[in-house]
Amino acid sequence: MTTVDKLLLRVLNQSSDQLINVPSRDFKVLKSLGKIVAGSNFITENQGRLLLKILGENSEKFGDLKNEVIEDLKMPTWSKPFRPVDKTKKVYSGICSDGTPLITIEFAFSSTIRKLLHANFKKISGIDQHTNGRIYTADLTEKNIVTVVELLEPYGFEFEGKIYDFYNTIKSWSEIEVKSQFLISNISHTNFQRHITADLGISTPLDDNIINDRSVRYQFFVEKSEKNPENLTEKIAYREKSKVWIDRKQFELADVFTSLLKLKRLPALVIFDYNDHKKCLEELTILNDSLEKNRIFDNIGIYFRLPNDGHGAEFNKFIADHHYNAQLDQTTKIVGVQNGKIPKFFLKNDWKPMSVIAIGNSLKQTKTAAYANCCDLIISYTDSQPIIETRTLWE
């Protein structure tokens, strides 16, 4: 008597003429299982059941081997034990290479769970799929902990004790009580007052726009207002998250800088689309006009150059003629870089933007986007709404 797996290999080694009547779908499955049994691994018990089913249904179609197949399937045997099924499903805390704490989600391949995670990507900040496809990581935040536990618990995941402890603690909080602690009218801690003063200066009047604008930066709440934003400054100030879209067909770039000045939002980082040299020159000209309309004439640095021919030569000459080559320091008001790259000296400098404007392009997963994330106001100034990264939209 031949074992079923050896019998499968003998069936597959027959000429194509003898297997012509086997349905193509069944034949593909048999070939796939044949590759597994011929390799170092073996099939699982479920795969064994499938193999018996297909062989039994097609036993009359295996040419010279049909009688042997029928006989051997009466009492099937196997040359090796079935391969154990990997049932890994666990969530635990981890640490990134730079020391950042992470949530790690690990599971054996499951199309259902993968689809579930991908459908909820927008709800889980910093989620990333690793190359082996069985591990995902995400930021270790309160919101992520609650989302991941409630999303994966029904699927039989095992959770590290620390993760469950965090989850139970978070769920024990009262949202109203927690938020009330961070209402600006209830915050009396001296560090909060010190940071606000260092940011705005002691003489700056705290009007409603500035108070609402700084709520994202300092993570406080303000009393809900029935007022609808009536102009660009208010629309920026009343944003709910750091990333916003401003429709360049409706607002001039000069209007954007006027609003930034009113909100005490300089210095600003301006990001150009480097790939189109003509567009770069046009955007630089528009930037120059916008700055001059707002009486910003000095402490401006454009920290990249184009190839010195055609539009690139004009771009480089424009920078030289307008003295847009200020050394980066705490007095620099406007900084220009190309999308996708950040000069190395930025990483060793204390200069940080109070606002970021991506002109004519949207920030994707690049070094520029990673650097810009240090800022609580990131503006996509484009003709059309970015699809992914912007959540608060001003049209």
**Residues 166 and 187 grouped into a single domain:** no
**Residue 206: both structure tokens together:** 């705290």
> Which of 80-84, 301-305, 349-353, 383-387 comes out lowest in average pLDDT?
383-387
CB atoms within 10 A of CB 110: 15
Across 267-283, average pLDDT:
89
Residue 265: predicted pLDDT: 92
CATH at 299? 3.40.50
**Residues 120 and 251 grouped into a single domain:** no
Comparison of pLDDT for 126 and 179, the residue scoring more: 126
Number of domains in the chain: 4
Give the domain range for residue 366.
Answer: 239-394
Q: Domain ends where: 136, 158, 173?
A: 173
CATH at 168? 3.30.780
Complete edge-to-edge strand list for the sheet that includes strand 300-302: 300-302, 334-338, 268-272, 355-359, 378-382, 243-247, 392-394
Check if the beta carbon of residue 237 is closer than 8 Å to that of residue 210: yes
Residue 281: predicted pLDDT: 93
Across 303-320, average pLDDT:
92
Comparison of pLDDT for 261 and 109, the residue scoring more: 261
pLDDT > 80? residue 153: yes
Q: Answer yes or no: is 25 within a domain.
A: yes
Residue 165: predicted pLDDT: 94
**Residues 254 and 371 grouped into a single domain:** yes
Q: Domain ends where: 231, 256, 279?
A: 231
380 closest CA partner among 395, 362, 354? 362
Mean pLDDT value across the chain:
86
20-53 pLDDT, tens digit each:
888 999 999 999 999 998 888 898 889 999 999 9
**Residues 244 and 335 grouped into a single domain:** yes
Residue-by-residue DSSP string for 190-215: HHHHHHHHHHH-TTS---HHHHHHHH
Residue 360: predicted pLDDT: 79
Residue 260: predicted pLDDT: 96
Residue 83: predicted pLDDT: 87
Q: Answer yes or no: is 156 within a domain.
A: yes
